[in-house]
Every structure is written in C-alpha cells, then in structure tokens.
Chains A and B, each alone.
Chain A
C-alpha cells in the first residue's frame, strides 16, 4: 500500500504545482497591456502578476521587486458603467463605478475610493495636475497612503478617458526607495504609451 500512496502524493504534488499561477517575465520592448489596445515600452524587464480571482479583463499588474515593494498597474480601456473592483452582494460599501463623463474630481474620488472601500483610512492626495497622455490631456494624481501593515506607500496615476473608455498607468511602491526608484521609468512609459 505504501508505494501507491507515494505515487498518489507525487501525482498530487505535480498536479498542484501545475495549478499554481505563475509570474511571467515581460521583455523590455513595446508590448500590449491590459488588453489589446494600450501599448507601453518598459526599460527594465518586469514581472507580470498571475491573474487573480478578483481581476477584471481591463487591468494588469507588473512588479520589479515583488508587489509588496513596487507595482505597476495598467487599465486598458475600462468601459462606462464598469468597475475595477468586484461588488460583493453582502458588502454594504459600494465599489466605485466609472462613467465616461466624470469630472477630474470624480476620477480622483473613484481612484481614492478603490482604496477606502478596502479599509484604508489614511489616504492623502498629494497633487492633481493636467498631464499629456495618449495624445491628449489627461490627469496626473500623486498620492500616499498607510496600509494596515504600517509601511507608507506612495503612488502616481496618469489617466485619460478616450472614446468613453478609461486608460490608466499607475506606479505604486513603498515610500522609502522603491517608489522613487521606478518613477523615471514610469514617466518614460507614460510618455511613450500609445493606443492602437
């Protein structure tokens, strides 16, 4: 009986390993992200996070040193009426929903709400400015917040609504070192991003 049980264990181990979602290396060349329309040119090789159960078809996340330290997020055309968070039926907090005619104030609130509804209380918008993105004027939002692990994170979002769909590139990271280290590459990516 011993041998078959070892085999079964080995089989199970192989099966489970096969099921584990894996990070994928993103080459340092122009590549489509979060769908087929948004293209960016990374300077470094990044790691694409495996899809999570809560992920929508419109978002994608990369990391250089692990998502707890830094994360580069993309939204590749969120349609009007959709959200990047899933609304649970029993949850009384509303996840923010995108509308194509949102004002800059609405877009900032939507971005902020995506953190607040997940239990982040200390969230500060540092600046909101107009920014060039995808051939027109978009919005650049700097922010920082305190997650429950007590380690302050900084973030920057560049967003623009094109043909009633929301496109976003977002960098977020631990305030000490990791955020600032990737900020120049983020700016290059925003500048070179294009729609196809």
Chain B
C-alpha cells in the first residue's frame, strides 16, 4: 500500500508498521531537533529575520494585549519543559488576550498562545499538544526554510522583503492564521507567490504535528488529545454556523490555506496517536485535574472574552461542553449573557431563567445578580429586581456601574 508519507523512516519504521497509519503523512519518530540551546542565526538571511523578530517580541512584551499572569505563565512554561524534557531557556511563551483560537511560533523561540485557545482546551494534554506542535516549528527550523523559499520565489519583488520577513517567519496554529494580529503583513504577499508557497507550509504543519505528538509520547501525555482539539473545533464551528443558518465550511481546504484540511489533520493525529500508543507500555494521562486547578481561577475572564464575541452558536457549544462536569453559577450566568446578547424572540425569558438559575448557585458571580436584577425589573417584578441589584452592590461595592445601578433602583 502506498502511503503519502514524505519523511525517511528510521530503523524502527517499516512498511508493516504503517498499516495503521493510512492517513498519516509524516512519521513522528526520527524527527530530531535541528537547533539546540544557545543556537545563533547562521547567516545574513537568518540574522536579518532574527532582528525583525526581536522587534516584534519587544512589542509583544509591552503590548496591552499581553496577559501578565505569573501563575499561568509558570504553569504553561512548566508544560513546555515537561514535553521538551529539560529547562527551555531557548523558548519563551507569551499569553496574549485574543479570543481567537490560535497559537504562533516565531523563529527566535518566541511562542504566543492566545487566551482563546486556553478557553477551549479541556485538559493539560491538549495544551501540551499545541505547545509541542509550535515547538516543532522552532526545532525543525521551519521559519528559515520558508523565508528562503519565499525570497527565492520573490527576488523580483523589492517591496515584498519587509512583508516576507515578518509574515514568513511566523508559523501559526490557527486555520484562520491570516486573522492573527502578528502576521498581518503576510497578507501583503502576492497571491500567485503565496499559492506556490503555501503547499510547502502545509508540509511543515504536518511535520510539526508529528513532532509535537512525539514530544507528548515521551512525556507521558495521552496522545489522543491532539486529534480531540480538532474534533472539538470542528464541532464548535458547525454549531456556530448552524446558529446563523450558515453551512460549515473548512477554510483550510482552500488552496490559499497555510494549513492542512482540519478533518485530515484530525485523522492523521488520531492515526499517529494509535500507532505510538501501540508501541508504548508507559501509562499516559491527560492531567485534567492539574489543568482545572490552573485554569479555573481564570475561567470567568476566558468565558467573558468568548461570550462577548456574540457568536451564540460557538458560545453555547463551549458552555455546554464545560457543563459536562456540571452546571455552576458562572456557566449559567454566561448562558444568560449569550441569550441576552443574541436578543431573539424568547431570549429575554431564556436569559432571565438562566440568571435566576445562576443566582441559586453559591458560586454565582456578582454580575449574575446584576443581570438577574435587571431581568426582574423588565419583567415588572420591581421589588425582587431591587433586591437583586442591591445584592449585586453588596457583593461588589466598588462596581464600576454602581452609580447607574443606584439610579435605577431609585426609579
């Protein structure tokens, strides 16, 4: 059987071993790192790219979008060291407040992970899969390969060099990569050139997937986590489109996409996970308890970022996924917010019901009481509404809207 695998099999790899890997393009074993700690750029091309990237890193360090949270940074940095298997002074991970599902790797070892990704992953193994994938881009030197390829193909286009130095150097996790803040310059690339380059990038994405899953395998993470991320994302996008009576379409199927089609990618990762799991007798864990302990204190912020995108299908999918562990005050409050922001016929009642349910939980946030209060006032239940608003002010005496809430209560 002919497979689409493009990388040389190591001593352990053989045709017979690949029978369970019909979809996989890249073998995860034998992908060794091409850079080590202390790596320095080798030539003028690479040095120029590094200088541009260092400027971007300084911008990110000072960006108001950066999530400066030492606990989360330490936690995500710990995952990185866990999968690399050593301390990682060569990799620097920044958390960025962007509601989009995305992570990016820069050629200098700077990794960017969006809060929109943290909102969606369900356990530590899934985050490890993303970090491993991005680290794969760095350790396999994808950026400089792509940069040189672009330069060769665009030698006649002087104006292009700046865009290429920024755009080509960044590898992005998202299938919506062009929407990322940091790689906007890539959109300046001439379409014809882009078409010829993006297939090259797809191969790199496949290699990074394979590299990432091999890192997970040796650090004891459940390997099926990588494919589950994509399964969740497909489900969410279907729910988002269905809500608007739109048809789900995978943009990464486009010839312009830098990424492999999402479903192919999911199948490849699942195949590889089964293959590697079959070769290992080590226990594997998704480390969900550790993930929940780290992320629960930030769940309110992460949900707020998603719900206020006003994509009701995606928001309800996310909430219902999280509620598989049981509803609580925070989730019910955000469910009410989805309905209130959607504002369709019947949503006012649905929102009111969700707020009422939220305030019955001991963990109901103060904002749930405010929303409950306003919903009661709209329903003509003035005394109950004032009681709820008063409860909101008691819980949050320094509320930013305390003035207008008191004004409303006095009416």
Contacts and interface: CB of A to CB of B under 8 A. Distances in A.
Interface stretch (A4-12, A32-40, A126-134, A182-190): A126-134
A148 interface: yes
Contacts of A163: none
Interface string B206-228: 00000000000000000000000
A109 B309 CA distance: 11
B400 A128 contact: yes
Interface in A151-169: 152
A149 to B, nearest CB: 9
Name, among A92, A93, A146, the residue most crowded by chain B CB atoms within 10 Å (CB to CB). Answer: A92
A42 B31 CA distance: 66
B73 interface: no
Interface in B327-378: 340-343, 370-371, 374, 377-378
B370 A105 contact: yes
Interface string A79-103: 0000000000111111111010101
Interface SS majority for chain B: helix
A81 to B, nearest CB: 10
A95 to B, nearest CB: 8
B341 A152 contact: no
A93 B408 contact: no
A93 B314 CA distance: 9
A128 B403 contact: yes
B281 interface: no
B250 to A, nearest CB: 14
B25 interface: no
B371 A105 contact: yes
Contacts of B310: 93-96, 113, 116-117
B341 A96 contact: yes
B98 interface: yes
A150 interface: yes
B384 to A, nearest CB: 15
Contacts of A112: 308
A132 to B, nearest CB: 12
Interface string B53-86: 0000001001111000000000000000000000
Contact of A99 (B181, B305, B313, B343): B343
Contacts of B184: 148
A32 B241 CA distance: 41
B309 A130 contact: no
A122 interface: yes
B400 A127 contact: yes
A24 interface: no
A178 B123 CA distance: 44
A10 to B, nearest CB: 26
Contacts of A150: 59, 62-65
A94 B314 CA distance: 12
B152 interface: no
B311 interface: yes
A128 B64 CA distance: 22
Contacts of B405: 104
Contact of B401 (A94, A95, A99, A128): A128
Contacts of A93: 309-311
Contacts of B378: 101, 103
Contacts of B340: 106, 109
Interface of B: 59, 62-65, 97-100, 115-116, 179, 181, 184, 240-241, 243-244, 246, 305, 308-314, 340-343, 370-371, 374, 377-378, 400-401, 403-405, 407-408
9 contacts: A92-B243, A92-B313, A92-B314, A94-B310, A106-B374, A121-B99, A121-B115, A129-B401, A139-B404
Interface of A: 89-97, 99, 101, 103-106, 108-109, 112-113, 116-117, 119, 121-123, 125-130, 137, 139, 146, 148, 150, 152
Given A104-B405, A119-B100, A121-B115, 10 more contacts: A92-B313, A94-B310, A96-B310, A105-B371, A109-B340, A116-B308, A122-B64, A125-B401, A128-B404, A148-B181
